[in-house]
Every structure is written in C-alpha cells, then in structure tokens.
Amino acid sequence: MKCIKKLGIIFLLVSISTFGGLTTKYIYAREPIMEYRYTIEEAKIKRAQFIWTSCLEEMRRDNLLKSEDIKEINNYINKLKDIKNSQNKEKRYLKEKSALKVSTVDKLVKEGLINSSQGNILRKKLNKYDLSNLEN
C-alpha cells in the first residue's frame, strides 16, 4: 500500500512538472516569433540606411556632392519617412522602407536636390548593393 501511494505521488509530481513545462514553453514561444518579424524589418532598414549613407559619403569624397547637398538629401529622406511614435511598427517600417528604395533617387532629381548625372551615379552606386528586400 505504501508503494502504491509513493508511485501515485511520483506520478502526480511528474505529470504536474510536465504539464507546467509544456504550458510555459507555449507561452514563451509565441512572443519571440512575433518580434522576429520586426527585428528582420529593422535589420533591412538599418542596412539600407547604411548603404545610402556610405554611397552619399563616397560621392562627397569624389567631390560630386557637397556636405550641404547631403544634409538636404537626408532631410528629404527623413521627411519621406515621416516617422511618428504613435504609428504602429508595421506602418512605420513600410514608410521607412519606401523612403530608402532606389526609386527615391528619381524623386531627388525631380525635386531638384541633385541633377540627373548625379542621380545616375547615385543610382549605380545603390544598385551595386541589393536593396530589393525593401520591396517586400
């Protein structure tokens, strides 16, 4: 009789710990999956910002752009992003990605911030890197 009670208690403890372990794994497994998408989007945006910055800096070193031109371009891109803290993450990432696409060079030329030859050079420099992941 004592042996049956001990086995019952052991079985009860094992089943409680197993059930408790399964439920905590389920609870903690949901949240990182949702955040995973946002970290990928952040990485895409940071990469694109780095590429834009380095291409503009390279053009400045080659005396194709002045520092004032780069400031105006950065201000224009920031205006296109129009980031507000109240927006949800998905809308904010979509705006940032659309502002950092290669097609923004056409907008810069159209607005008169750079001329068409500078736009062609900037487009060639940006196309060396694959920014197609901003399309999705």
Could you tell me the mean pLDDT of each successive run of 10 residues in the chain, 136 residues long?
Answer: 72 70 53 63 87 91 90 88 70 84 88 89 87 71
Tokens of 17: 């710990």
- Helix/strand/coil for 113: coil
For residue 9, the model assigns a pLDDT of 77
pLDDT value of position 6? 72
pLDDT of residue 57: 92
In terms of DSSP H, where are the helices of 1-136? 2-61, 67-81, 89-99, 104-111, 116-127
First to last CA, the chain: 67
> What's the pTM?
0.67
